[in-house]
Amino acid sequence: MKTARALAPDDGQLEVHLVPMRRRHLRSVLKIEAQVYARPWSLSLFLSELTLRGSRFYYVARVEGSVVGYAGLMLSGEDGHVTNIAVDPAWHRHKIGTRLLANLAQEALRRRVRNLTLEVRVSNEAAKTMYTRFGFEPAGIRKNYYIETNEDALIMWAEHIDTPEYAARLARLEATVPGRTVVEEIRG
């Protein structure tokens, strides 16, 4: 069996497929979830999210058939909430997270969302840096949000994503991603 590192080609040659999350992806998603979160989501929670097709949108990132990351979006009126975004640690620094978040923003725009929000650990500097590049700004703190560590969450918002200025920001971000990203849109 190939390891994730053995699969990683030169970033300029990397082709990442973003496909709607399906039940068949959940074994791989749960493996990543267990690697990156002290309190991972359960299989039943993912299954329940996948049934909410009108208001939830989940994608996996695949390289050569292997799931290397995933992300989800929940809609509520004009707002979209990034429920989760995670990348296999062996695939960090290959812009997988950037690809996933750009795709969620595009999906939100297709669904007429005007604002995006998310929570991030206050200690997660790499994630906060990426979110800031996407226009997310700090808006508050959720005390002890991460129960397993009693760590606070920083609430971040990207407002007015439905503007030409935000479209230009997304285009600039997507232009910095090496290789190729192939997106299979969610139907419906």
Do you know the residue count of the chain?
A: 188
Give Cβ neighbours of residue 32 (< 8 Å, ≥ 6 apart): 67, 68, 69, 70, 86, 87, 88
Please tell me the distance from the alpha carbon of residue 20 to that of residue 72, in angstroms, as a whole number.
Answer: 10
Structure tokens at 31: 């493996």
Active site residues: 119, 131
Please tell me the distance from the alpha carbon of residue 117 to that of residue 155, in angstroms, as a whole number.
Answer: 7
Burial track 31-53 (b if 16+ CB lie within 10 A, e otherwise): ebbeebeeebbeeeebeebbeee
Phi then psi for 149, rounded to 5 degrees? -125, 0
